[in-house]
Structure 1
Amino acid sequence: MQVIGALGFGLAMSIVFVMVESRTAAPIMPLDIYKNRMVTVSLIAIFLTGFGMFGAIIFIPLFFQGVLGASATSSGSFLTPMMMGVVFGAGLSGQILSRTGGHYRIQALIGIAIMTTGMYLIGNMDETTRFGTAVGYLIVMGFGLGTTFPVFTLAVQNSVTFSVMGIATSATQFYRSIGGMLGLAVLGAVMANRFASRLAETMTDTLSQALPPGQFESLQENPQALVNPEALVALRGSLEQTGPEGAAKADQLVALMKSALAGAIGDVFTISVVVVASAFVVTLFLRQSKVQSEATSRLSEAPGVADGD
């Protein structure tokens, strides 16, 4: 109910914001810019790719630590290859746009396609995946994501007048952040629910009965034992006290939890793939035009609705 209430309040405030902005003489966010197709399509695509990007940043370290057994420090460092891919992709895409006057739509579609491919590969990883393979998938995803960064930003900047360029540019970051926050909320809930259900499906009666009362339910709610060495030692200790087969039961339980977590994160990336793929569809509506070489061509246009109508 708290989540529903917060969403309802946010929706109500958004409606109030739009009503106020549509009537004021000097709006913070001129609504006219949304009449510009280049701006609207770009912001929607940015929102959707942000949904997938922030999900990856949060759940990838959890996969490395909880499923592959990396340490807390090294699991975070595995994001570095992805960010290097982002930087390289953004730099290359920006150079192509600058030097060749590349087309917005073509480059954006290529970037989203590469990003979607990388996310699909990540979603199919499991506890047998090698570290090098996982890093390769992250680089692919990061490169595709980075390719889209300058494209949508320039598409927005070059389709509005100078008077609203700052507002339009800041809107790109705003929508990416909003997409990321929504992605974290939705994907976090999906991951938690899918982990609990997958663990319940694979848990045997022998294992569940060997655990102290209430511990299985606790493990379903939070896979802390997979990422906290102390919690893992305590879990193993509680099972080893049950008899000679306690150690084997502990190994079996940890294996089941790793499999459940890998599957849950895979489900998260499946949803992310669908969302980012929808950004591909949205980008098809981006007007096929080259980068403007002379920004002064916008000076004579009406405020906020330059050449992207």
Structure 2
Amino acid sequence: MTSTTRSPEEIAARRRDVLLPLTGLLMALFVGVLSSTIVSNALPRILGDLGGTQAEYTWVVSAALLAMTASTPIWGKLADLYSKKLLVQVAIGIFLVGSLLCGLAVSTSQLIGFRVLQGLGMGGLQALTQVVIAAIITPRERGRYMGYLSAIMSLAVVGGPLLGGVIVDSPLGWRWCFFVGVPLAAIALVVLQRTLNIPTEKRDDVTIDYLGAFLIAAGVSALLLWMSLAGKQFAWTSPTSIGLIVGGIVLLALTVVVERRAKEPVVPPFLFRDRTVVLATIASLFVGVAMFGSTIFLSQYFQLARGATATEAGFLTLPMIGGMFLASTVAGQLITRYGAWKRYLVAGGVLLTAGLTLGGTVISSTVPYWQVALTMALIGLGVGATQQNLVLAVQNTVALRHMGSASSTVTFFRSLGGSAGVAGLGALLASVVGSRTATGLADAGLADGAGPVSGGQVPNLATLPEPVRAIVMESYGHATSMIFLVAAPLAFLALLAILALREVPLRDTIDLPAEPTHGDAPGPVLHGVVRADGAPAGGAVLTVLDGHGAEVGSTRADADGRYRLCVATGTVSTVYRWEGRPAAHRVTVPQEGLRLDVDLEPDDGRHRPEIVSVIDPPARKNVGADHG
């Protein structure tokens, strides 16, 4: 892999070639994200009009997240097999129909069902956006465009609550919170048709792992249903509760068995042999719990704990959205400029943990707003610096043919964490609000006035008498602080996973270097593993020189320290560099190729890289070589 210098005109042309097809894609993503945020400020009003309970409040959010989570890996796998453009269009169509039906719902049960359909479309948009970007942009350039993607998401998050608040407070009513996305989705379809063009690899052996897809969706759904309903609709130790737990675990265990045997697994098991994929997946899971679980209830906090209107609640969340926008944009530009990404993930993990910890200690119904704003700003900065860059770290380590599965796997676990967070923390909020309100009313001698707030229904503050109103507001403020306090250690677990990531510099190619097999290689293959202190030296650079010292090729080792490079037969010199630890060897490459494993010694300044001949075995040091 040799580097080339492009002229400013070539760079500008490249950006135009990328930004034009990206336009429709980002518009589609904007519509999807807008749909999830535009209802956040309207939900208290929606549930009040439809007679919904606090548990149903959670399910209006959880239903869409659950469908999005369960479908994400399936969309990602389909993107590895079929036309990515067609799949994006299908996802927008499903989302569009779901939005129309949500706006026509006449009961909370209907609304929850139609939100499932919306969630299926949202899962496609979320997964496919990552995949398409990876198919047209190299990892080194991708940081900038991931920043654009995060900025679009932040804009949707900013505009959603504000627009939703204005709509629900206007004569239009809350139903237009769903209808307003329909024309935007239609425009996205038109723009996408005109601008997005991705070549599709024709394959005759395409098979879909239907059983694996079903088992993943069923197993995840069973566990999320248990988390959402246990303690409310059935006891934690009831047969129903035990059945959902055991059923979910069994289904997911069967998923592992099926995926290991499937020809085209939905989630390829080999991905989890990669250290970066495993750690990024763990971090994404806990970031999802902390992000969705703690922030989804902020609008409810401002309306029910501080008495704000829906429109005011949208404006009050601006510090968090501003933090997301700033961190994602700046981090994306810096990652593209310097090729390093881990430092921004670490900073994001620290800020997210700090923000949630602060929120758990200061948030109440009477705390000064600036303290809440500081909390939201820290959370926004943390989320903006982590959510997209965890996907980027994984995309940098996998081949293009597996990009859909790898990207959607990380996104899937983030959505899974979000779904679990909303379900679990929503149950916690409902429990704390119920018990604290009952206690407060009893202590104040107002138990007889509990009618408007009994039965777990979301209260309408305007209809409550003043003493009851103050108790309800205090209960929601205290319950929100409890949610942040529970989410903080989960964010810390994400930070630990991020710290364990090994940074591999971003590559300058769309795909990993080809791995030719015996019989179809264009020439002899020099390959092997580079290690340092016994661990893989991911990202180590290999340069091959001919007998005159001229460079004939170079490559970079993957996350596991593996490298492959096609070279000519004969004697060459190999130079390895990794974090200031160089090594050099002189080897003779036969026609059938050569394996050369290298252990890098610490560079203490007292020795120079030595040249070792592989054809003289007694003289070898730190080298394992064999033909093949």
Residue number among 246, 253, 262 corresponding to 2:477 in the alignment: 262
State the secondary structure of the residue aligned to 1:189. helix
Residue number among 224, 233, 241 corresponding to 2:458 in the alignment: 224
**Which structure shows the bigger proportion of residues in helix conformation?**
1
Task: Give yes or no for contact 2:287–2:387 (8 Å, CA) kept in 1.
Answer: no
State the secondary structure of the residue aligned to 1:284. helix
C-alpha displacement at 1:263, in angstroms? 1.1
1:286 and 1:4 map into 2 onto residues whose CA distance is 36
C-alpha displacement at 1:157, in angstroms? 0.5
2:390 is aligned to 152
Residue number among 238, 247, 252 corresponding to 2:467 in the alignment: 252
1:18 is aligned to 256
Letter in 2 for 1:55: G
State the secondary structure of the residue aligned to 2:308. coil
Letter in 2 for 1:169: S
C-alpha displacement at 1:194, in angstroms? 1.7
Residue number among 266, 288, 313 corresponding to 1:50 in the alignment: 288
C-alpha displacement at 1:177, in angstroms? 0.9
Task: Give yes or no for contact 2:288–2:414 (8 Å, CA) kept in 1.
Answer: yes
Q: What per-residue deviation string (whole Å, max 9, x for no partner) do you get for residues 203-260 of structure 1?
A: 445523442xxx36x73653633xx24xx42x42xxxxxxxxxxxxxx3332222222
1:244 is aligned to none
Q: What per-residue deviation string (whole Å, max 9, x for no partner) do you get for residues 183-204 of structure 1?
A: 1111011111122333344444
Matched, 1:275 2:512: no
2:492 and 2:289 map into 1 onto residues whose CA distance is 11
Q: Could you state the TM-score of these two structures normalised by the residue count of structure 1? A: 0.82
2:511 and 2:458 map into 1 onto residues whose CA distance is 57
Task: Give yes or no for contact 2:289–2:421 (8 Å, CA) kept in 1.
Answer: yes
Task: Give yes or no for contact 2:289–2:487 (8 Å, CA) kept in 1.
Answer: yes
Q: Where in structure 2 are the equivalents of 1:203-242 lying within 5 Å?
A: 203-211=441-449, 215=450, 219=453, 221-222=455-456, 224-225=458-459, 228-229=460-461, 232-233=462-463, 235-236=464-465
1:114 is aligned to 351
C-alpha distance 255-28 of structure 1, shift in aligned 2 (>3 A): same
Task: Give yes or no for contact 1:43–1:175 (8 Å, CA) kept in 2.
Answer: yes
2:384 and 2:278 map into 1 onto residues whose CA distance is 20
Count how many residue pairs are aligned between Structure 1 and Structure 2.
Answer: 283
Residue number among 243, 246, 265 corresponding to 1:8 in the alignment: 246
State the secondary structure of the residue aligned to 1:179. helix
State the secondary structure of the residue aligned to 2:250. helix
Residue number among 59, 69, 74 corresponding to 2:312 in the alignment: 74
1:242 is aligned to none
1:177 and 1:272 map into 2 onto residues whose CA distance is 15
Unmatched 5+ stretches in structure 1: 237-250
C-alpha distance 300-88 of structure 1, shift in aligned 2 (>3 A): farther
2:274 is aligned to 36
Unmatched 5+ stretches in structure 2: 1-233, 235-239, 518-537, 539-556, 561-628
Q: Which moved more, 1:176-185 or 1:201-210?
A: 201-210
2:458 and 2:387 map into 1 onto residues whose CA distance is 35
Q: Which moved more, 1:108-117 or 1:197-206?
A: 197-206
Q: What per-residue deviation string (whole Å, max 9, x for no partner) do you get for residues 158-179 of structure 1?
A: 1112221221011122111111
Residue number among 429, 432, 453 corresponding to 1:191 in the alignment: 429
C-alpha distance 9-129 of structure 1, shift in aligned 2 (>3 A): same
Task: Give yes or no for contact 1:67–1:258 (8 Å, CA) kept in 2.
Answer: yes
Task: Give yes or no for contact 1:115–1:145 (8 Å, CA) kept in 2.
Answer: yes
Task: Give yes or no for contact 1:48–1:278 (8 Å, CA) kept in 2.
Answer: yes
2:499 is aligned to 284
Letter in 2 for 1:57: T
Percentage of identical aligned residues: 28
Letter in 1 for 2:392: L
Letter in 1 for 2:346: L
Task: Give yes or no for contact 1:160–1:298 (8 Å, CA) kept in 2.
Answer: no
2:364 is aligned to 126
State the secondary structure of the residue aligned to 1:254. helix
State the secondary structure of the residue aligned to 1:129. coil
C-alpha distance 101-61 of structure 1, shift in aligned 2 (>3 A): same
Residue number among 94, 98, 107 corresponding to 2:336 in the alignment: 98
Q: What per-residue deviation string (whole Å, max 9, x for no partner) do you get for residues 34-65 of structure 1?
A: 01010010011001100111123321111101
C-alpha displacement at 1:70, in angstroms? 0.3
Q: Which moved more, 1:36-45 or 1:93-102?
A: 93-102
Q: Which moved more, 1:159-168 or 1:263-272?
A: 159-168
C-alpha displacement at 1:24, in angstroms? 1.7
**Highest CA radius of gyration, 1 or 2?**
2
1:240 is aligned to none
Q: Which moved more, 1:133-142 or 1:108-117?
A: 133-142
User: Superposition RMSD on alpha carbons, in Å?
Assistant: 2.6
1:179 is aligned to 417
2:388 and 2:395 map into 1 onto residues whose CA distance is 10
2:327 and 2:454 map into 1 onto residues whose CA distance is 39
1:136 is aligned to 374
Task: Give yes or no for contact 2:322–2:377 (8 Å, CA) kept in 1.
Answer: yes
2:585 is aligned to none
Q: Which moved more, 1:6-15 or 1:201-210?
A: 201-210
C-alpha distance 294-11 of structure 1, shift in aligned 2 (>3 A): same
Q: What per-residue deviation string (whole Å, max 9, x for no partner) do you get for residues 104-159 of structure 1?
A: 2x321110111111222222211222334423321221111110123211110011
**Which structure shows the bigger proportion of residues in strand conformation?**
2
1:207 and 1:301 map into 2 onto residues whose CA distance is 80
Letter in 2 for 1:262: G
Q: Could you state the TM-score of these two structures normalised by the residue count of structure 2? A: 0.42
Q: Which has the higher contact order (CA 8 A, sep 6+)?
A: 1
C-alpha distance 298-165 of structure 1, shift in aligned 2 (>3 A): farther
